[in-house]
Amino acid sequence: MITFDHVSKTFGLETHALSNITVAIPDGQFVFLIGSSGAGKSTFLRMILREVVPTEGTVTVDEWNTSTLPQSQIHLLRRHVGMVFQDFKLLADHTAYENIALGLEILGKTKEEIEKGVTDVLELVGLSHKRDSFPQQLSSGELQRVSIARAIVGGPKILLADEPTGNLDPDTSWDIIQILDEINKLGTTVIIATHNASFVNDMKKRTIVLKHGVIISDEEKGKYHQEKKEEREEKEKSKHHKHHEEKEKKHEHD
Ligand code: ADP
């Protein structure tokens, strides 16, 4: 369970990246975190990794309160949470296999454990045939698959993805979302931050919308109300229209 309890984050004196956020994300949930650039999505995710600590309030990730977590235990939290980025962050001089294996080497796994772990996640992301390819030999979609495999190989309970489809075309984006859904179905909590809401309505997952650091909606089986914006514009238009009509009527009467 991840909980944000009245969490605010201020950078400097003026930038309120998050303001009074209270939200709970139970184990195994799949969540879209939506909002335009600067809304606070990355800050939200980075708080779960304890890369950012709240100015006010408390963030708890399972048994860890990130504000009181001793420096010496941060690595335990980070093992628990995998992260996927828009720009993949793979090592250019390592093959797909080697990039993924790194995480397990750090954990001190044996060669056999690493072989099995990496083979399993490569299969899960559909990339077994590219295990010996270097990043420059892979397409953007394949690079994102490798980076997802690297994020989950250590078996994290939580997977965060910050704009994972930001560099991908719509079809490839959809494939990546399907893989993240697959990983969620295997039991991992998945939180995807994105400003691209085109696939959100089709997924019917919990959708939290951030605007200027504030949660403006939080819906189970969420929809991103892009249509709301259109409706709003439509309403504005008709209000404007009505106003004009009334003005004209008034004119006629005068
Ligand atoms: P998003 O991921 O939705 O684009 P961010 O969480 O990156 O939003 O940023 C929210 C706000 O906080 C922005 O105004 C951004 O400039 C500011 N911000 C984020 N990180 C820092 C930082 N380390 N120092 C100063 N300002 C920051």
CATH number of domain containing 12: 3.40.50.300
Task: Quote the pLDDT of residue 196.
Answer: 79
Task: Quote the pLDDT of residue 81.
Answer: 97
User: How far, in Å, from the CA of 81 to the mean position of ligand 1?
Assistant: 21
Asked whether residue 152 is domain-assigned, the answer is yes
pLDDT one-digit tens code per residue, 176-225? 999 999 999 999 999 999 987 788 888 999 999 999 999 999 998 876 66
Asked whether residue 243 is domain-assigned, the answer is no
Our count of domains for the chain comes to 1
Residue ID of nearest Cα to ligand 1 atom 14? 38
Task: Quote the pLDDT of residue 200.
Answer: 86
Task: Quote the pLDDT of residue 93.
Answer: 98
Rounded CA separation 199/196 (Å): 8
In sequence order, the β-bridge partners of residue 218 are: 208
User: How far, in Å, from the CA of 33 to the mean position of ligand 1?
Assistant: 15
The pocket around ligand 1, CB under 6 angstroms, is made up of 11, 15, 17, 35, 37-43
Residue ID of nearest Cα to ligand 1 atom 20? 43
Asked whether residue 252 is domain-assigned, the answer is no
Task: Quote the pLDDT of residue 91.
Answer: 97
The pair of structure tokens assigned to 237 is: 């238009």
pLDDT band at 36 (very low <50, low <70, confident <90, very high): very high
pLDDT one-digit tens code per residue, 44-94? 999 999 999 999 999 999 999 999 999 999 999 999 999 999 999 999 999
Task: Quote the pLDDT of residue 227.
Answer: 46
Asked whether residue 234 is domain-assigned, the answer is no
Query: Counting atoms of ligand 1 from 1, which one is nearest the CA of 213?
Result: 10
Q: Answer for the pair 243, 53: CB distance below 8 angstroms, yes or no.
A: no
Residue 215: domain span: 2-223
Asked whether residue 231 is domain-assigned, the answer is no
Q: Would you mind telling me the total number of residues written for the chain in this entry? A: 254
Query: Counting atoms of ligand 1 from 1, which one is nearest the CA of 195?
Result: 3
Task: Quote the pLDDT of residue 169.
Answer: 93
Residue 253, pLDDT above cutoff 70: no
Asked whether residue 189 is domain-assigned, the answer is yes
Asked whether residue 254 is domain-assigned, the answer is no
Task: Quote the pLDDT of residue 201.
Answer: 83
Asked whether residue 249 is domain-assigned, the answer is no
Most confident of 102-106, 122-126, 202-206: 122-126
Residue bearing the bigger pLDDT, 33 or 253: 33
Residue bearing the bigger pLDDT, 226 or 221: 221
E strands in the chain: 2-11, 15-25, 30-34, 56-61, 64-65, 81-85, 158-162, 189-194, 206-211, 214-219
pLDDT one-digit tens code per residue, 231-252? 555 555 665 555 555 555 555 5
Q: Which of 45-54, 125-134, 223-232 has the lowest mean pLDDT?
A: 223-232
